Amino acid sequence: MKKILLSIFMVLGMCSYAVGADLVLADVKFREQSNYVDYCEDAEFCLRMNGTENNSLLDESGNDNHCSNEDASYTTTDCKESGCYSFNGTTSLIRCGRSSILDDMTAISISLWAVNDSEGEGENGLLINKRFDGDGGTGGWDFWEGSAANTNVIQFTVDHATTDLKVITDNNAWVTSELTHFLVTWDGSTTASNVHIYINGVEATYQTQIDGVGARVSDSSKNIIIGNSSGSKVRTHDGTIDEVIIREEVLSQAEVTNIYQNGLR
């Protein structure tokens, strides 16, 4: 009987090993075939928003720029992955940490997924910014989704002493209430043509490209704010935001395509 039981355990062990090996091999093949890259690795900031509501606002970059929720709602609807946050168009925001690694970055790439149910509060909803943190917006940058003078545009601006660097896409760059990938990459120069905005992996066309003039105004006193300005809270996003990363580098078209097709991983 002991020999029989031993034989059974050995067979079961071999089966488990074989299944485990197959799973590992399958994972390796998946990574090879899908150009697997973990874009949270070596990022300056990474907010996947997955898991449970209690741990969904932890910065997974390792830089401890963790976030706190102010009136946004955790949801599993209209997300890129298993969870995200919904902003109510009037008061919601997510406030994140301010370590020096995010200050005055020499280059920047920002990637996120969002559903825009409108252009946001006052037709000026903010996706993410390191500018409008408790004051009128002196210093820093902002990435936003609307304009009272235009329709469904995306804008990226950086504060400079004389003239702000500003890039605005053509009208109708995004579709209302549709989950969309937005990414901006900038080399840190004052040249507007070095700002590239991608929507669902494709570079947008632009109606406005204004070079920055004068010294860049420091953002070292600012927090990362998602979905609104802080303080007066008058530029609230209307919809969901998910999978936010910030990297201090210029991403290539191939990298942008990879993030759009495969996510952060």
Per-residue pLDDT reduced to its tens digit, 137-170 = 789 999 999 888 899 999 999 999 999 999 999 9
Higher-pLDDT residue of 35, 48: 48
The span from the CA of 47 to the CA of 251, in Å, is: 18
Q: Supply the DSSP symbol for 152.
A: S
Position 263 scores a pLDDT of: 84
Which residues lie closer than 8 Å to 32 by C-beta, 6 or more apart?
none
pLDDT band with cut points at 50, 70 and 90 for residue 35: low
pLDDT band of 246, cuts 50, 70, 90: very high
Asked whether the predicted pLDDT for residue 5 surpasses 50, the reply is no
Token pair of 28 as six digits? 């390796």
At residue 252, does pLDDT exceed 90? yes
pLDDT band, residue 93 (cuts 50/70/90): very high
CA atoms within 13 A on the CB side of 158: 28
Which pair of structure tokens corresponds to residue 82?
């298993």
186 three-class SS: strand
- Of 73, 149, 150, 116, nearest to 237 by C-alpha is 116
Checking if the pLDDT of 9 tops 90, the result is no
Q: Give me the pLDDT at residue 146, please.
A: 86
pLDDT over 90 percentage in the chain: 72
| Closest listed residue to residue 128, CA positions, set 50, 20, 219 | 219
Mean pLDDT confidence for 26-36: 44
- Is the predicted pLDDT of residue 14 greater than 50, yes or no? no
Distance CA 234, CA 181 (A): 24
Please give the DSSP secondary-structure letter assigned to residue 100. Answer: G
pLDDT at 11 over 50: no
Give me the pLDDT at residue 226, please. 97
Q: What is the pLDDT of residue 32?
A: 45
pTM for this prediction: 0.86
- By the 10 Å C-beta count (0-12 exposed, 13-18 middle, 19+ buried), 22 is classed as exposed
Strands (E), the chain: 45-47, 67-70, 73-75, 84-88, 93-96, 108-116, 126-129, 141-144, 155-158, 165-169, 180-186, 195-199, 202-203, 206-210, 225-226, 238-247
Q: Rounded distance, CA 134 to CA 148, Å?
A: 23
